[in-house]
Amino acid sequence: MTALRNVAAIVEKEWRHYFGSPIAYVALTMWCLLFGFFYWVIFEQFLRYSMQSAQRMEMGGGFKLSLNDLVISQVLHNMAVVALFILPMLTMRLYAEEKRQGTIELLATAPLTDWQIVIGKFLGALALYVAMLAAGFLNFVLLWRYASVRPEWKPVLTGGLALLLVGGAFIALGLFLSTLTRNQIIAGILGFGLGLIFWILGWLDQPTADSFTKVLAYLGITNHMDDLIKGIVDLKDVVFYLSFIAFGLFLAHQSVESQRWRA
């Protein structure tokens, strides 16, 4: 009970920090702008395809085009890249700023455990990201309102889950990196660089790869997203992200604790 209250206090503090400064508004604005922009460009492309397809259909060829496959899933894949850019900038301050400001001493001498602080900070950043996701997904509502053939809602929901999990993984990674330094820029660059490496690991997933490369490829952070975005919920993928997040938080906790010993 106390533990929950403590975590809630930290979440609220982080949330206040994001929204008490321009950070949240800039992040939300850029996110929505990019979300809308990708959506518009991809949708324009879809309209061209469907026109061509309609002509072919008249001639007996062609096929039905799916909004889910050609619009929504494309936009979601692109937004995962945007998350890779934006989230390290939201997480880099989580510990680095407290250390530079000296406020880490306030948290560390309050009757809180390190775990409560780590989880509170993670959830605080995640809450902002959820707000970003929610704002972005409003774009898709238009499809239900205006499209003659409505998209399926299930893949949209699992796609949202995919983005949430990928983002959670970036946030956990960024949170850990932020515990390592008092310099936000360093935490930010590390977060972006390592996030990108985890991304590129996924490219190693070739049918001809040897087993070592396959293991590396398994760590690819976006590969596990593909099925979810298609609407296929494989427990394996969800577990991958949850364990990625848990491991990130664990490292963050260990790092905070060990610094106390070395300090």
Partner 1 sequence: MIEVTSLTKRYGRHTAVDGVSFSVQKGEILGFLGPNGAGKTTTMRILTCYLPPTEGSAKVAGFDVFEDPIEVKRRVGYIPETPPLYPDMDVATFLDFCAKIKGLPAASRKAKIDEAVQKTRVEDVRHKLIGRLSKGYRQRVGLAQAILSNPDVLILDEPTAGLDPKQIIETRELIKALGGEHTIVLSTHILPEVSMTCSRVVIINKGRVVAEGTPDELMQRLKGAAALRIEVRGTTGPVFDLLRGVPGVVAIRPKEDAAGVVGFEVEAEGGHDIRAELARAVVQKGFDLVGLHQTGMNLEEIFLRLTTTDSALESKEVAQ
Q: In angstroms, what is the minimal distance from the CB of 125 to partner 1?
A: 16
Residue type, 26: V
Regarding 52 and contact with partner 1 (CB under 8 A), the answer is no
Q: Closest separation between CB of residue 1 and partner 1, Å?
A: 11
Kindly tell me which residue out of 106, 134, 147, 185 binds partner 1, with binding defined by CB under 8 A. 106
Nearer to partner 1, 108 or 186 (CB): 108
Which amino acid is residue 37, in one-letter code? F
Look at residues 193, 131, 196, 189 and name the one whose alpha carbon lies nearest to residue 164: 131
**26 touches partner 1 (CB under 8 A):** no
- Nearest approach, Cβ of 256 to partner 1 (angstroms)? 12
Contact between 17 and partner 1 by CB under 8 A: the answer reads yes
Instruction: Determine phi and psi for 15, rounding to 5 degrees.
Output: -60, -45
Residue range at the interface with partner 1 (CB under 8 A); choices 9-17, 28-36, 61-69, 88-96: 9-17
Residue 110-129 contact track with partner 1, rule CB under 8 A, x = bound: xxxx----------------
**Distance (Å, whole) CA 199 – CA 192:** 10
Cβ proximity to partner 1, 212 vs 261, nearer residue: 261
CA angle 177, 179, 183 (to 5 degrees): 80
159 close to 237: Cβ distance less than 8 angstroms = no
CA-nearest of 199, 20, 14, 195 to 122 is 14
Which segment (11-19, 130-138, 150-158, 210-218) binds partner 1 by CB under 8 A?
A: 11-19
Does 230 participate in binding partner 1 (rule CB under 8 A)?
no
CA distance 204 to 249: 26
φ and ψ at 105, to 5 degrees?
A: -70, -30
If the CB atoms of residues 8 and 47 are measured against partner 1, the closer one turns out to be 8
